[in-house]
Amino acid sequence: MQILDGKKLSETIRSEIAEEVTRLRLATGVTPCLAAVLVGEDPASQIYVNNKEKACQKTGMESRLFRLPAAATTEELLKLIGKLNADVSVHGILVQLPLPEGCDELRILDAIDPKKDVDAFHPENVGLISQGRPRYLPCTPCGIQQMLIRSGIETAGKHVVVVGRSDIVGKPMALMLVQKQSGADATVTVVHSRTKNLTDLTRQADILIVAIGKAKFLTADMVQPGAVVIDVGINRLPDGKICGDVDFDAVKEIVSAISPVPGGVGPLTISMLLRNTLRSAQCAAGETTLR
Ligand code: NAP
């Protein structure tokens, strides 16, 4: 049984990114810059943004944090996004979700210049992914795809069952894995809270990707022996510990490979955010073109 060590994989990816950041700066004078927008005081959001900023700095990228009070209006946020869109020294814009109630999340995300939308949430970027010609790949699904590729796990012809249909993880994951290309070519089933006979479907999976936000939801009886299980969930238990959506201790006994929480998908998500920001900067420096 293989433990899919996302922490180790992401260290490798981040050192590749750091090398490229140095090369880009020396060759063109451009330093990739990620602008993060944090609204309100949500403690989990503050930790996530902090981790993203630290990761940026460690790879030699610039990070700028814009903090707004929880009472900020949609108009104030739109004004800030407009300024960041126009600032040529900013290559990626990240709005940390969830936004406080009262902020029009869709209007704000739609206002980000699609070429700086390094989270790949903008409808233009989602459309390009759907057509198999992505500008940016969304960070969590892209991290999972990298985990599979770099661990030598073949997806072509495999039955992948994605549990959860969020716009951030489940839906884009399914869209990516169904593409006619290497690292994909899978037969994909998406299941969710209205799915009947969920266990019948999860038990048919060669690869199970679970993103629902319910601690230890996926139990060993829901998994086909020998399957690969990717756990996206991040749940805080009453004792303060973090755990995934998979009952790791029981499921690991019957699978061929499994990602842990913490130390699985999470670190790869941040690495992909850095990679997208780097690509945007390479484009700004005239080295590549974005679609
Ligand atoms: P979300 O927006 O809350 O969506 C949850 C999805 O799970 C929904 O599609 C929901 O179905 C489905 N679901 C809920 N209960 C279910 C059940 N009992 N059976 C089947 N499906 C069920 O969640 P998300 O943003 O995708 O996040 C999911 C988890 O991943 C969370 O723990 C989150 O913290 C974590 N996450 C981790 C990373 C990372 O970097 N590691 C990144 C993003 C998210 P309906 O659509 O029918 O409601």
Q: What is the DSSP string of 155-224?
A: -TT-EEEEE---TTTHHHHHHHHTSSSTT---EEEEE-TT-SSHHHHHTT-SEEEE-S--TT-B-GGGS-
Contact at 8 Å (CB) between 93 and 117? yes
Alpha carbon distance 62, 199 (integer Å): 46
Q: Is the CB of 214 under 6 A from ligand 1?
A: yes
The label of the residue with tokens 């945007």 reads 280
pLDDT at residue 8, as a whole number: 97
Q: Is the CB of 194 under 6 A from ligand 1?
A: yes
Ligand 1 centre distance from Cα of residue 265 (Å): 14
What percent of the chain has pLDDT above 70?
A: 100
Annotated catalytic residue 216: no
- Domain 139-266: give its CATH code: 3.40.50.720
Q: Return the CATH number of 29-114, one of 3.90.950.10, 3.40.50.10860, 3.40.50.300, 3.40.50.720.
A: 3.40.50.10860
pLDDT at residue 155, as a whole number: 98
Annotated catalytic residue 96: yes
Q: Is the CB of 242 under 6 A from ligand 1?
A: no
pTM for the predicted model, two decimal places: 0.96
Confidence of residue 55 (pLDDT cuts 50, 70, 90): very high
- Ligand 1 mutation pick, 193, 198, 265, 271, max ligand atoms within 8 A of CB: 193
For the chain, domain boundaries: 29-114, 139-266
Query: Residue 9: pLDDT above 90?
Result: yes
Query: Which candidate in 119, 206, 231, 245 is catalytic?
Result: 119
Task: Give residue-wise pLDDT tens across range 251-273.
Answer: 999 999 999 999 999 999 999 99
pLDDT at residue 290, as a whole number: 80
Question: What is the tally of helices (H) and strands (E) in the chain?
Answer: 10, 11
Do the domains 139-266 and 29-114 match in fold? Answer: yes
Query: Residue 291: pLDDT above 80?
Result: no
pLDDT at residue 83, as a whole number: 98
Annotated catalytic residue 119: yes
